[in-house]
Amino acid sequence: MEGLQIVVCGSLVPDPLQTLEPVINPTGPGLKNETMLPSVLDPWASHSLYEAANLAKQVAGSKVFLVSLGPKAKLQQLMMTVAQKAPFELVAVDGSASGFTDAMDVAKTLAAAIEAIPGLDKGKMLLFGGCSSASRDAGVTMQLVGEQLGITDQFVGVDEIKMQDDGSFSVLERIEGGQYLASTCPSMPAVLAWATGSLPEPPNNPQIGMANMRCVMPALQKAKPASIGVGGISFEKTEIPAQKRDTRIVKDVSADEIAAELVEWIKG
């Protein structure tokens, strides 16, 4: 089997350990002090990147591209750590990584960036990304990117892929009840929106980082600006969900009584 061209869509999200407070800015909804918040690679996208690197290692001659949409300055900071995890070639797009952006706008921008990759052969391409997101969790972004590229073989909630010598591959997708749907695809291209996969986070490798950074910095310098909006949605206000906690300690109460009381509390 010839080498694969694995394109991974993944960008930055605010570090989940930070307090995120939504606000309305002059340009629309956003997060308070968003530019100052530390960022990490989206967790689901990171799983897809690690799986892509592992697959590329198994198939000789394969190459991994990481397509990232986000503010150029913050992408540069992020790449200082991500570049040490796995070998890839960065394709950067300078635009908003806000969780309020429209999924269709994002998909069109990502698809255009993928189409512009020099020498890309869709007959050898696997399009990876997260099935969800810690920021713009529309749950449809990868499917929309695939549709923009004309890729109709799509798998969502993927935990495993196995390549065969003839270019076909099998996929395990998560379904209800803790079970998997096993599928076989005869050829590429295909979209795989990953769940958590089965691989741990790889350790930092400074040698991989130095090799990646030779391409990362030029890619960031060439990053084209993209205008990503909120689509046709109008946000009247944004706020943190209110928290409510009522605690009462009781003894000698049956499970049925506790359940009935919880139901009444929820209804109230």
* Higher pLDDT, residue 140 or 36: 140
Q: Are 21 and 31 a contacting pair, CB within 8 Å?
A: yes
Q: pLDDT, tens digit, for every residue of 46-84?
A: 999 999 999 999 999 999 999 999 999 999 999 999 999
pLDDT of residue 138: 75
Region 224-246: mean pLDDT is: 75
- The residue with greater pLDDT, 174 or 268, is 174
Stretch among 49-53, 86-90, 199-203 having the lowest mean pLDDT: 199-203
Mean pLDDT, residues 127-153: 90
The span from the CA of 79 to the CA of 63, in Å, is: 18
Q: Is the pLDDT of residue 244 over 90?
A: no
Mean pLDDT of the chain: 90
Binned at pLDDT 50, 70 and 90, residue 128 comes out as: very high
Task: Report the distance separating Cα 125 and Cα 146, nearest Å.
Answer: 11
pLDDT confidence bin for 25, thresholds 50/70/90 = confident
Domains of the chain: 5-225 (3.40.50.620)
Confidence label for 250 from pLDDT (cuts 50, 70 and 90): confident
Higher pLDDT, 266 or 158: 158
Q: 204: which DSSP letter?
A: P
pLDDT of residue 80: 92
Cα–Cα dist 157/44, whole Å: 10
Nearest to 167 by CA among 134, 200, 126, 119: 126
Strand 63-70, strand 89-94: pairing: parallel
CA-closest candidate to residue 53, choices 4, 119, 92: 4
Query: Could you tell me the end-to-end alpha-carbon distance of the chain, in angstroms, rounded to an integer?
Result: 61
Structure tokens at 80: 């200082």
pLDDT, residue 212, reads 94
Euclidean distance between CA atoms 102 and 136, whole angstroms: 8
The residues with which 68 forms a beta bridge, in sequence order, are 92
With cut-offs at 50, 70 and 90, classify the pLDDT of residue 15. Answer: confident
User: What's residue 136's pLDDT?
Assistant: 67
* Residue entry with tokens 């359940």: 259
Mean predicted confidence (pLDDT) in 176-193: 94
Question: Of 110, 129, 104, which Cα lies nearest the Cα of 193?
Answer: 129
Q: Residue 232 — very low, low, confident or very high, per pLDDT cuts 50/70/90? A: low
Measure CA 178 to chain center. Answer: 22
